[in-house]
Amino acid sequence: MPEGPEIRRTADRVHRQIAGRRLDDAWFVFPDLAGQAASLVGREVIAVDSWGKALLTRFDDGRVLYSHNQLYGVWKVHATDCEPDTSRSLRVRLVAQGRAASLYSASDVSLWAGEQLGDHPFLSRLGPDLLTHGVTLGQVRATLLEPRFQRRCLGGLLLDQSLFAGIGNYLRTEILFFAGLHFTSRPGELEEGALSRLATCILSVTRQAYDQAGVTNRADWGAAERAREASWRRWRFAMFEREGLPCHACGTDIERVMVTSRRLYFCPRCQPAG
């Protein structure tokens, strides 16, 4: 499933396509939304952003179109006279001045009054989005030390979307590696320096994944892998999906474990338990 950086990049593409324009047409496959489509015609799209793995299309009358890609959903941007080449099922189409944004294969779509968005059953459980909500280093540190979070092992905590929205499996692995922390570490037990590294990496690794389209590896390590003609999937990450390969930092074989029923990769030397 795409993680926060990928959804934010999707939101950026849809924003560039239709934001600042008034809709000429809106179409929904869902019966409860189809009846509201006409009311969106003439409305200006003022912004498209993301919150965790949800994409939010905001209109000038205060309404917000919520969509969640889940496993198979995908947004495509295209000219209205150029239908995307796909066998996927069309769910939503928004058209503005010859430009279209089309959502395929997703099933979780709804239209909300902006002031009621906080009551959304999914969004209401989310923590702040690291890429959308201007989260600061100080806020990350303070959140990690909240009573409800500080005693929890990081391997499970980082996937809890009530902590920070958008961190998924690959980000969890990469954040812990660059912070030099074992997945059983707890925020409340960390020394000051380790807590600072963790907070910094939560922000920096997520931002790098957004800026570099999913690449979280160090530039020099990635360059060395490319020189060996490694695939993008091989040099993209510093740690994730590299079981049995040598750690870039120390040469120790990378190990894989299951934490909260999901795979996590770590270096036993760079990230010692305890």
Residue 43 and residue 60: Cα distance in Å, rounded? 6
* Lookup result for tokens 């190990």: 255
45-78 confidence digits (pLDDT tens): 999 999 999 999 999 999 999 999 888 899 999 9
Taking only Cα atoms into account, the Rg of the chain, rounded to an integer number of angstroms, comes to 21
pLDDT for res 70: 84
Q: In what order do the strands lie in the sheet with 108-113?
A: 45-51, 54-59, 63-68, 108-113
210-258 confidence digits (pLDDT tens): 999 999 999 999 999 999 999 998 999 999 999 999 999 999 999 999 9
The whole-number average pLDDT for the span 170-195 is 98
Q: Is the pLDDT of residue 274 over 90?
A: no
Q: Is the pLDDT of residue 29 over 90?
A: yes
Note whether 270 and 239 are within 8 A (CB): no
Q: Is the pLDDT of residue 2 over 90?
A: no
Q: Annotated catalytic sites, by residue?
A: 2-3, 53, 262
Note whether 50 and 132 are within 8 A (CB): yes
The whole-number average pLDDT for the span 17-37 is 97
Q: 153: closest CA among 185, 131, 193?
A: 185
Residue 38 and residue 110: Cα distance in Å, rounded? 15
CA distances (Å), origin 79, targets 18, 21, 82, 84, 101:
11, 14, 5, 9, 9
